[in-house]
Amino acid sequence: MQTIDVPQGASLYRYVERKDFERAYRVACLGVTESDWRLLAMEALEEMNLPIARKAFIRVRDMRYIDLVNAIEAGQKAGQHTDIFRAQVRRPSPISEQSPP
């Protein structure tokens, strides 16, 4: 018997584009790269799908973002508006990451 690795990245991307994070997570569990896990985690976090974001950040062992997810959940329980948290989640644009000429 042979084991064949079947890349699942393309399926993951399709589900993430559709914002179907539950299915994207199930596909990721079948086997994707760490960068694919990170993509799923960040996209789920931006859409405030906190359970999927937490699971994906746990898979890549990113404590900084796990703590952020916990803080967002605590804030939501305290009645804070989600727009406050969305500002904390936004990724910097590639232009702002470049050094000035």
Q: What is the pLDDT of residues 33-78, one digit of tens each?
A: 999 999 999 999 999 999 999 999 999 999 999 999 999 999 888 8
Calpha distance 74→33 (Å, rounded): 30
The answer to whether 24 touches 59, Cβ cutoff 8 Å, is no
pLDDT of 54 = 97
Q: What is the pLDDT of residues 71-97, one digit of tens each?
A: 999 988 888 777 777 766 666 545 444
* Alpha-helical runs (H) found in the chain: 9-17, 21-31, 34-46, 50-59, 63-77, 82-89, 94-97
Calpha distance 65→58 (Å, rounded): 9
- Is the sign of the CA dihedral 8, 13, 14, 19 positive or negative? positive
